[in-house]
Structure 1
Amino acid sequence: MPQFPELETERFVLRQITKNDSVDMFQYFSLDEVTRFYDVESFTNIRQAEELIQRWNERFERSQAIRWGITLKSLNRVIGTCGFHGWKKNHYKAEIGYELAPEYWRQGFMTEAIEKIIEYGFNDLGLNRIEAFVEPENVGSRTVLEKVGFREEGLLKEHYFWRNRFVDNVIYAFLKKDYKVH
């Protein structure tokens, strides 16, 4: 099994998520404001958090994805996650995904975490392109992406079907040639 990389920023340790983190994840994944733009329904029991953690770890073991738990150094509990999926080693691209507990929104936390995983993606995973698909109304996420260097490439009309409706996505991308360490 591959070794899970632990990353560190000024305020965080980004580490593998375990079943022990399921209570923390359940607390924020049960909030509609967190899942509003997410491809899961709001959690109603802790088993859903356990299953999500298991899926993410299985995908890591198969080299299909990597999802870090965002933990404050001052508090070893998961306050959000971030990572790459849709990742195929020889295709040199992946899609970024993330979420954060609402009490930590608008404090620069996700920006700090994403900057670190972008660095890891380009320098350690050998990615050339990192993509993000965001619903047009998700202004917070769009702002974070633009702040760290992603560029909007266009609107994908009715890109996927979710919650009984077709949903548009704005596609963002960050190319390695445009990456400069901050």
Structure 2
Amino acid sequence: MQTLPHSFETDRIIARLPRASDAALLFASYTSDPTVVRYLLWTPHQSIDETERFIDDCIAGVEAGTRFPYVLATKEKPDDPIGMLEARVSQHTVDMGYVLAPRYWGQGLMPEAVRSLSEWALTQERFFRVQAFCDVENKASQRTLEKAGFVREGRLERYVVHPNQSPEPRACFMYGCCR
């Protein structure tokens, strides 16, 4: 059952579902970069094979209708993935997570993508809430969510393990927007 679009566009970004052929470019762009993944739920990929398995999991999630992991590219270079934006559906809520290659940081691309998908979701009868979580030390992600129109709703202590920071659960901020 499809609940989110298979692709969408903003003024500067094309977002589409992943393909197996994305693995090498994603590996080179960010999945192997410790700086990029420092606040994510996974460690840097050590090989393209690891990124291929990740893409396979993404595709399986799409087929199951539980995950919509969009590969992001600029309109100028549509075949050069720059990051991903994943949406997970649970009843009336869409939960988002994202990652962007460092050469594109600070250009407002991720807030643009997050805002576009969240605004679309909130026009759908099924969804009342879009949310995201980020490590309390991840200032860039906090800015991304605020620029995308999300409101910081609270702090969740010892909420999730970010393995590149600590083996212990860390505090996260919860952000949301509702209709």
For normalisation by structure 1, the TM-score amounts to 0.89
Question: After the TM superposition, which parts of structure 1 deviate over 6 Å for at least 4 consecutive aligned residues?
Answer: none
Q: Aligned runs of 1:59-138 on 2, under 5 Å? A: 59-75=61-77, 76-85=79-88, 87-88=89-90, 91-124=91-124, 126-138=126-138
Tell me, yes or no, if the aligned pair for 1:19 and 1:53 is still in contact at 8 Å: yes
Q: What CA RMSD, in Å, does the superposition of the two structures yield over aligned residues?
A: 1.7
Equivalent position of 1:50 in the other structure: 52
Tell me, yes or no, if the aligned pair for 2:94 and 2:127 is still in contact at 8 Å: yes
C-alpha displacement of 1:124: 4.2
Equivalent position of 1:179 in the other structure: none
Equivalent position of 1:166 in the other structure: 169
Tell me, yes or no, if the aligned pair for 1:83 and 1:117 is still in contact at 8 Å: no
Identity %: 27
Tell me, yes or no, if the aligned pair for 1:149 and 1:174 is still in contact at 8 Å: yes
| In structure 1, distance between residues paired with 2:66 and 2:125 | 12
Equivalent position of 1:41 in the other structure: 43
C-alpha displacement of 1:171: 0.8
Tell me, yes or no, if the aligned pair for 1:150 and 1:172 is still in contact at 8 Å: yes
Q: What secondary structure, in the 3-state scheme, does the structure 1 residue paired with 2:106 have?
A: coil
41 and 126 in structure 1: CA distance in 2 versus 1, 3 angstrom threshold: same
| In structure 1, distance between residues paired with 2:58 and 2:146 | 26
112 and 147 in structure 1: CA distance in 2 versus 1, 3 angstrom threshold: same
Gaps of at least 5 residues in structure 1 are 177-182
For normalisation by structure 2, the TM-score amounts to 0.90
> Which of structures 1 and 2 has the larger relative contact order (alpha carbons within 8 angstroms, sep 6+)?
2
Higher helix share: 1
Equivalent position of 1:6 in the other structure: 7
Tell me, yes or no, if the aligned pair for 2:13 and 2:75 is still in contact at 8 Å: yes
